[in-house]
Amino acid sequence: MDLQPIHPEPKSFLRRYVFSLDHKVIAKQFLWAGLLFLLFGGTLAMMIRWQWAYPMKPVPILGPLLLSKTGGAITPALYPAIFTMHGLIMIFFAITPILIGAFGNYTIPLMIGARDMAFPTLNMLSFWTFLVSQGLMIAAFFQKMGAAAAGWTTYPPLSDSVGTPGWGQTLAVLAIFVTGVSTIMGGINYVTTVIRFRAPGMTYMRMPLTVWGLWLTSILNILFVPVLGSGGLLLLLDRLFGTQFFIAGASAVNGGGDPLVFQHLFWIFGHPEVYILILPAWGILCDLLSFFARKPAYFYKGSVYAMVAVTLLSAVVYGHHMYVTGMSPLLGKGFMTFTVMISVPAEILFVNWLLTITKGSIRLEPPMLFALGTVFVFGLGGLTGLFLAIMSMDLYLHDTMFVVGHFHLTMASASFLASLAGIYFWYPKMFGREMNKTLGYAHFWLSTVFITLVFTGQLVAGYSGQQRRLFEPYQYQFLHHLLGVNQWTSYFAFALYFTQILFVYNFVASMFLGEKAAENPWQVGTLDWATPSPPPHHNFDVVPLVLRGPHELSDPEVIRSLGRDWIGQAEALPDERPVAEPARAAEGGRA
Amino acid sequence: MSEAIAQMADLSRTGTAVPLDRGSSLRDENTAKLGMWIFLGSWAMLFAGLFFTYGAIREATARWPPAGLPRLPLGLPALNTLALLASSALLQLGLSRTRRGERAALAVFGAFSLGLIFLSLQLVVWTQVWKSGMTVTGGPYPSVFYGLTAFHALHVLVGLAALFVLWIGCASGRIGAARHLALSLWTLYWHFVGAVWLIIFASVYLA
């Protein structure tokens, strides 16, 4: 039996709920912090949508509260700050903490049969560092010259001290650096935990695909977040100390810095980042589709290798963000080839999902519906990605709303819906209560329909030539006719926003009113469902001995001998001798 | 990281918590070391980003150093390189002495002192260069020089604080053959800081 160290159960309130070392508590902290900022970032998005539907008209509700000086309307100076902060908040302070901070922390130790993360103190520090970065982000709003306004990509010269003077931009860049440090701390923990703390018998090829996705994401995080860190650091030096790394100067006299170098650093990080945000979602999808189709995941190893291939390729495609920067067409062709290549493993995953649910006994519970919704919006997003990957097409579509629609379908919609799938799925385990299913169904249908309409609306506007980030698009003659499309897109966006009231109510109220959850309400075999709901402080009384893969569903032998269609990963059949794989069993026990 | 291990207790099949001695188990030590390697690998990517920027800027500049800017001094930085290398070697010696159960306080203190000398000499170099008329705002060449060396010096500073605490630990006997995880982790870190310096010395001063 593999003995694993764990910190003793804390007694005081502070150690138990605030400065907790327990991965389950830290996961909930990340979840709350992420959900709050999701609401916050969503509100900012509504302000952008308002401006595009009713340019320069006073914003209802929020306008009188926040913008009293301008009579409630958004000014041209404020507008860039709104979309910049929306992007930064959603990516770094909402999706990242929910998908990686919350699900990573909650599921990895439970799913691999560990009692906690490898470095619990580091885990706690990771959350508190993250909270500091969120604080810096909030502080950026209250600066004299306004919040960060150089776009989420923070390109110099727009982001240097001349382009966006004042502390707002500085604090936002600092916040990104600090949140990067938090992400790296988390990444070190996840990667080490998966390598060292798997229960005996939990081979890599028996790990749930959720864990695979999170693990690969963490590897990308520890490799590429520091690259963004280096860019942010040099940008801070430029802003605060007057260095000239990214400031183009009189090169004849004493050389010049180069703003383009920042774009390289940014996208060397930035392209892996989109996979950082989607790999955990893919992993969750792979598992949920199998669980709720009551079938083993189709071609499990194929999904694993496809995710590994995406992870590797994601490091060499970043140039497709920079086709129009004067990049050599030859280099561009190389990036184009890799970009098109990366869709092959993505297709393999997609086909695996479809074949997993084919002829399954599908149970359309809320988590499954959200998983299917994710497959749908990700499919749309992936297909529009092919347009942008091709250089000749990108010349036309670059910096239009088409790009915005594309990455909102993949990074935003798919991650958002997959997060919801995960929340509906693990909620009974996390909080020991069931969520209301009727509200869940309503939430699913409204959310999925509206989110699809919002971002296809953006695709249409972009394909018709509307550039992104315009304050008042209709001042251009050729965009006049797009007012209708944009207004309808905005109505759908408002509807999407207010639909989330259903979720907020369900999420909060179910903690008190929900039915007590059973140990394994979804009847699946992974280890996280082999402990009470919610799990005790040490997760498992006995570290389980894993005997099989994560998706042993509808196995005829299991049905015959146990009378049900699922079997736990660590559950032995009546006539089975519980032996882990020899290699791992020998390693068990403490040296 | 090492604190986390200190707080680890063993909840065995009986369900009772048995506190573990810090770094007493090979398994925990290997886990902690793996974590440290992953951290250093990750942090190396940050420095890689910095060197990438340096290379890209320099490649786009016709003359390096640009006209009108002084060449950087070589003597003191070379001496500094030796100091940091010797410091790394001494710390490694301290670690292996600790592992064998021999006294290592002197070696760790030596490593600390050499690190302190490095930082003091670095301060002298900065003053010299500044006085020769090269300020931070003078363009990309001074940007690279001050930016890279200052960010590296920050890492030296963190390392020095750790070495000081480790020295006290070695002197008081808290760190010994049975308990030296913190020492071995910080030794890895210190080697990393030294290796980064070698690249800075070779690329910023020599080349």
Is the pLDDT at B107 greater than 90? The verdict is yes
CA distance A419 to A425: 10
Closest CA to A335 of A347, A327, A345: A327
A253 at interface of B, judged by CB pairs closer than 8 A = yes
Nearest-angstrom CA–CA distance, B199 and B141: 17
Strand-strand pairing, B17-19 and B9-11: antiparallel
Average pLDDT over residues A115-122: 92
SS3 letters for chain B? CHHHHHCCEEECCCCCEEECCCCCCHHHHHHHHHHHHHHHHHHHHHHHHHHHHHHHHHHCCCCCCCCCCCCCCCHHHHHHHHHHHHHHHHHHHHHHHHHCCCCCHHHHHHHHHHHHHHHHHHHHHHHHHHHCCCCCCCCHHHHHHHHHHHHHHHHHHHHHHHHHHHHHHHHHCCCECCECHHHHHHHHHHHHHHHHHHHHHHHHHHC
- The answer to whether the Cβ–Cβ distance between A253 and B3 falls below 8 Å is no
pLDDT tens track for A501-538: 999 999 999 999 999 999 999 999 999 999 999 999 98
Given A227, A258, A541, which is nearest B56 (Cβ)?
A258
Where does residue A294 fall: left (phi above 0), alpha (psi -120 to 50 degrees), or beta otherwise? left
**In which band, very low, low, confident or very high, does the pLDDT at A574 lie, cut at 50, 70 and 90?**
confident
Confidence class for position A580, pLDDT limits 50, 70, 90: low
Instruction: List the domain boundaries for chain B.
Output: 35-206
pLDDT value of residue B65: 84
CATH fold of the domain at B35-206: Four Helix Bundle (Hemerythrin (Met), subunit A) (1.20.120)
**Cα dist from A237 to A240, A243, B18, B64, whole Å:** 5, 6, 49, 21
What are the φ and ψ backbone dihedral angles of A274, each rounded to 5 degrees? -65, -30
A533 vs A242: CA distance, rounded Å: 55
Residues of chain A with Cβ-Cβ distance to B11 below 8 Å are 6, 115, 538
B65: nearest CA partner in chain A: A254
Residue A324 has a pLDDT of 93
CB atoms within 10 A of CB B172: 9
Higher pLDDT: B28 or A121? It is A121
Angle at A510 between CA A504 and CA A515, to 5 degrees: 160
Domains defined along chain A, listed by start: 20-245+258-587 (1.20.210.10)
Secondary structure class of A145 (helix, strand, coil): coil
Whether the pLDDT of residue A483 is over 90: the answer is yes
- The stretch A188-193 carries a mean pLDDT of 96
Summarised one tens digit per residue, pLDDT across range A233-292 is: 999 999 999 999 998 865 545 567 889 999 999 999 999 999 999 999 999 999 999 999
Q: Which residue pairs, CB below 8 angstroms and at least 24 apart, start in A38-43?
A: A38/A90, A38/A94, A38/A95, A38/A98, A39/A500, A39/A504, A40/A89, A40/A94, A41/A85, A41/A86, A41/A89, A41/A90, A41/A93, A41/A94, A42/A497, A42/A500, A43/A497
Provide the 8-state DSSP code for A325. G
Structure tokens at A349: 């995953």
The pLDDT assigned to A16 comes to 87
Give the chain A residue whose CA is nearest to the CA of B61.
A255
What pLDDT band is residue A548 in, cutting at 50, 70 and 90? very high
Kindly state whether A294 is in contact with chain B, defined as any CB-CB distance less than 8 angstroms.
no
What integer is the mean pLDDT of B10-28? 43
* Model-level ipTM above the cut of 0.90: yes
Cα–Cα distance measured from residue A168 to residue A150, given in angstroms and rounded to the nearest whole number: 10
Tokens of A387: 């347009």
Tokens of A149: 């306004």
Tokens read off for A512: 């008190």
How many angstroms from the chain centroid is the CA of residue B63?
32
> Is A516 strand, coil or helix?
strand
Torsion of CA A400, A403, A405, A411, to 10 degrees: -150
Enumerate residues 6+ apart whose C-beta is below 8 A from A371: A284, A285, A288, A289, A292, A418, A421
CB A266 within 8 A of CB A231: yes
DSSP string, A150-165: STTTT-TTTTSTTTS-
**By three-state DSSP, how is residue A467 classified?**
strand
- Which of A21, A215, A245 best tests the B interface by mutation, with the highest count of B CBs <10 A? A245
Contacts of B48 in chain A (CB under 8 A): 227, 230
Beta-carbon separation of A591 and B26 below 8 A = yes
What are the pLDDT digits (tens) for A380-437?
Answer: 999 999 999 999 999 999 999 999 999 999 999 999 999 999 999 999 999 999 999 9
- Portion 174-203 of A in contact with B at CB < 8 A: 184, 187-189, 191-192, 195-197
Q: Distance between CA A425 and CA A110 in Å, rounded?
A: 14
**Hey, what amino acid is at A468?**
R
Q: Dihedral angle at the C-alpha atoms of A103, A106, A108, A113, nearest 10 degrees?
A: -150
Query: Are the beta carbons of A116 and A27 closer than 8 angstroms?
Result: no
Q: How does pLDDT run across A44-92, given as a tens digit for each residue?
A: 999 999 999 999 999 998 888 888 888 899 999 999 999 999 999 999 9
One DSSP character per residue, A282-296 reads HHHHHHHHHHHHTSP
CB contact under 8 A, A249 and B139: yes
Is A109 in the B-facing interface, judged by CB distances under 8 Å? no
Q: Is A120 on the interface with B (CB under 8 A)?
A: yes
Tokens of A238: 């430029």
CB A125 within 8 A of CB A183: no
Q: Does residue A115 sit at the B interface (CB-CB below 8 Å)?
A: yes
What is the model's pLDDT at position A306? 97
Q: Is the pLDDT of residue A12 over 60?
A: yes
Which residues make Cβ contacts (< 8 Å) with residue A504, sequence separation at least 6?
A: A39
Considering only the beta carbons, identify the residue of B10, B35, B151 that sits closest to A3: B10
- Render pLDDT for A146-179 as a digit per residue (tens, 0 to 9): 999 999 999 999 999 989 999 999 999 999 999 9
Question: Closest chain A residue to B5 measured between Cα atoms?
Answer: A119
- pLDDT tops 80 at residue B17: no
CB pairs under 8 A between A and B: 186
Which percentage of chain B shows pLDDT scores above 70?
87
Q: Does A541 touch chain B (CB under 8 A)?
A: yes
The pLDDT-based confidence of A543 (bands split at 50, 70, 90) is confident
Q: Which residue of A has its CA nearest to B53?
A: A261
State the Cα torsion A228-A229-A235-A236 to the nearest 10°: 150
Residue B25: predicted pLDDT: 63
Q: In angstroms, rounded to a whole number, what is the distance separating the alpha carbons of residues A528 and A119?
A: 20
Q: Which of B50, B64, B129 is nearest to A264 (CA)?
A: B50
Nearest CA in chain A to B66: A254
- A474-504 per-residue burial string, b: 16 or more CB within 10 A, e: under 16: eeeeebeebeebbeebbbbbbbbbebbebbe
Which one of A121, A197, A249 has the shortest CB-CB distance to B4? Answer: A121
**Three-state DSSP class for A281?**
helix
**Of the candidates B4, B46, B52, which has its C-beta nearest A119's C-beta?**
B4
Residue A220 pLDDT greater than 90, yes or no: yes
